[in-house]
Amino acid sequence: MFDTKAEQWAPQFILNDKNGYAVAKAIEAALQVFNNTVEQGLKCITDVKSMPEWRLDELAWEYNLLYDESADIETKRQWIDEALLFYALSGTAAGIEKYLKAAFNTAMVEEWFAYGGDPFHFRVTVSGQWSAESNAWAYETIERIKNVRSLLDSITFNSQTSYASVDVLTAITDIEIVETSQTAGGI
């Protein structure tokens, strides 16, 4: 920031006078307080790694990011820190994967030619904890990130949800949930 040492900015004749020197030192102290305040303010709005959570939420709104305010703070930091990269990848399979990986354990996009689907279709597989909120968030995220011409065929959740829940949830949400827990055979 600004060099606050009086010897750097005050003329020598003022520093030679005892009253001038006292005024210069008082200005130096005020400039140091000003510098510290500006530095803290800039850090609050630019340093994502130490930024408070309320500022992360504000930046997400300012950047018009896809953002889940209920996500943990480290996920929020990653989204804000990589905002430009997310914009650059928007409309691509890599963009969908990158964004979903921040919220789920894994995310994989298969394009139509890889699984024999219709042209410009794709499907997504994610793993992690499934919930109605995560399902809605995943659909909204994919809809906003995907290429406009592309169509989502399905989302497959590799979840630890029980079979009883799978039957009900599948009927309600029209998604496929793949059971991966050890207790799957017991129901």
Predicted local confidence at residue 176, as pLDDT: 54
Least confident of 14-28, 86-100, 151-165: 151-165
Q: Is 73 helix (H, G, I), strand (E, B) or coil?
A: helix
How many angstroms separate the CA atoms of 101 and 104, rounded? Answer: 5
Cβ-in-10-Å burial (0-12, 13-18, 19+) of 124 comes to: buried
pTM of model > 0.75: no
Q: Is 90 helix (H, G, I), strand (E, B) or coil?
A: coil
How many angstroms separate the CA atoms of 123 and 121, rounded? Answer: 7
Find the helix or strand (DSSP H, E) in which 110 lies: strand 106-111
Sign, CA dihedral 27-33-36-40, equals negative
Residues 118/85, Cβ–Cβ less than 8 Å:
no
- Residue 160: band (very low, low, confident or very high) from pLDDT cuts 50, 70, 90: low
* Strand arrangement, sheet containing 106-111: 106-111, 121-127, 151-159, 176-179
